[in-house]
Structure 1
Amino acid sequence: MVATTDAVGTGPSDEPVVARSGPSASGAERTPLTERDVESFAALGLDPVALRVYQQTLLADEWSPQQLREHLQVGEDAVTPAIASLVAKGLLVPSQEVDGTLRPVGPRVGLTRLIEERDRTLRFAQERLSQTRQATQQLIELVDDHDTRQRSSLEQVEGRDHVADRISELLGQATSEVLTVLTMLPSPEAMETARRGDTVLLERGVQTRMLVLTGHVRRSREYAAYLAELVGLGADVRVAATLPTRMILVDDSAAIMPTDPDDPGAGATIVRHHSLIRLMRETFESLWRGGRPLGDDEDRPDRWEPNELELEVIRFLGRGNKDEAIARRVGMSLRSVRRLVSQISQELGSNSRFELGVICCDRGWVEATERR
């Protein structure tokens, strides 16, 4: 098949030829592999020249480096490295019949062995890659946690749509508990959206406690029915005559509250600072202890009635008197009058002085002719 192994790097005079049984010389002229097939052997570390040399040694009755150069029309600087590569890969091995010569190993054995070795190498590389991917994910999470701690503990969110999106996002991340203080009567559309979100939250087993204003429950039968539905699903709802501001606490890790309680369109602030969260939690628990469970007879719409002083203040308001004038007429400080008006508004669920006047007219506490 080939001359002595020493002849691999020598000239033609040092290249004795060894014959073997196999295909005829005409068979050596065949090229059974396509160009694409040849390129695929690169996965085994066989370049085109090495593959052509290997193919020729398999198909030729006899061969030598000189014959390979002539048949393949390549120089010695191409054939010699190709033979060395085939020897290194075990595709050319020393002949046991003629000392100092090489013979090709058939592809069924030689190439199959290389494929299996390559397959093992790739599987090992895949396992290492999988381990690297897991380690990379751990590093990403470590960096994300670090970045989260480094971020500002206060996040400003502007625009009602963005606020609604962030609230939905926070509630979607809740795993154990959501505490809510509601100080505004939601619109029917907002109530329906909240109903869907709250239902999903409760179905996930998240403990939910809500504080709402007595006045809103008395004023809106739809709102009262919505809250009763939540109670039926497992929520705890309490009512209170007054509440300071709206807020939502999620898992004692984040809270959201209005940037300006008097301006719903001013956006919201998301709080993550542990000390602030703890303070808000304590505030909620204090309000919760001061509330009473939803469902008492007092929660029926139109149940609240003003006392004599409250009715007098309502009538002064209906006549268009300013707070300062009302304070003088009833013998109270300006601050006390404003606090009383605020309490009346919350009891009736009104969001403005005008709305308060309309409700009082509807209840018959203020004559329409008195309103200016």
Structure 2
Amino acid sequence: MKDDQSRPAVCDCRESAPDGTARPGDPPQQPCERALAAYRRALAAGSLPREEVSGCLTALHLMVPDRASPGSMVPVPPETASHAALAPLEEAVLERRRALRATRATLAAFETLYADVHRLEQPALTRLSGEAVISRALEAGVAGCREEIRTAQPGGGRPEQALREALVRDLGNLRRGIRQRTVYQHTVRSDRATLAYIEQVSAAGAEIRTLAEVVDRVIVVDLDLAFVPFSDEPHEALCVRHPALVRFLARDFDEAWARAVPVRQERAPLRTPVVTSDLQRAILQAVVNGETDAAIARRIGMSRRSVAEHMRKVSEQLGSTSRAQLGYLVATSGLLDG
């Protein structure tokens, strides 16, 4: 019974904490009236029986046991009590700061490692400017090929100088077992220089096909890197090393390859019925879309004169007297059906 009476008085500090998160033994976040009244009485009387002292007063070290009178407690000036009350909190803050500095130092070591590794990696995208720079990058990329080179070449026949350079490079790759697949536009089938190049590389194992339209030039080396135009400027290219982008370009090429018509080595008409039909369909669709002869020529890889000749023949066949009428008649004639 005596021990029960010596316990500190219960106060309202815990209930009055604004966030309700106070734990037993923690100093109160704000004093209650009972604690203020008890401290006032202690200051006036010099001491108080232990059972009248609120728990928050002992937690704040504002009341301490009276050594001369067991069972009593004496008041302590707030300035003196602050050292004992705040010291544990300040030590906890210092400990947290030490832990913070240690964690930062540990992360810094990993940041250095991360930066070192990525400095050794090639950038995912690299802009190449100038014919010489592009040529060196292509040579280095192709020289490192292990399995396959995919190439899409828009436009018609290629310049003879470019074909001579390509022939030396491509035959070298084919001799070391590299698979080479190239998609041209159908119009190369009437270009003697390009056909001579195709005949030589095909004899060495290259695979060549043609389509009515090839959207843009692309070279994919294995699944490691690719080269695409950076802009419409002739000597601006982009080297792509990002794995996802390279895979996308390779899949896009493979889809075009599946639609393309093979170029056979044996002597045959320059344009098979399939190729002729494919070319005509592309031209007629462009007419329906309202494209000019110049735009069609660029996209199909054909001269403007050849495009105009196609237009003339179709106009005669359908009895058209104007370009607008021709587009309407083509769209309604069923020529593009199927």
**TM-score, normalised with respect to structure 2:** 0.50
